[in-house]
Amino acid sequence: MKLPVIKHLTQFIEDNDEDYVVETIETLEALTEVSSLKDEELDVIGELISNMYGAIEVNKMTKDGMPKKEALNSFMGRVMGSIDT
């Protein structure tokens, strides 16, 4: 996951609508079923999906009243914590 990408997507959600990102995730998930995709391509799709889910999570935290910067840092802290275990 990349914080600048999640930050950008979070701003996109604020400016537009979360539904765009949700529909994009659904589309990318459907693409992963294409049998001719290479592992590298699946990795890229997976990274995009992860960043989009991260942005949705950060957006939820900001809707619940957490400042955006704090929400981003909190989310990335949880991600890093889960990687360390």
- Using the structure block, give the residue that is written with the tokens 């997976």: 46
Q: pLDDT per residue over 4-56, tens digit each?
A: 999 999 999 999 999 999 999 999 999 999 999 999 999 999 999 999 999 99
Dihedral sign for Cα atoms in the order 33, 39, 45, 51: positive
The pLDDT of residue 4: 93
Work out the pLDDT band at 76, boundaries 50, 70, 90. confident
- Give the C-alpha separation, 73 to 81, whole Å: 12
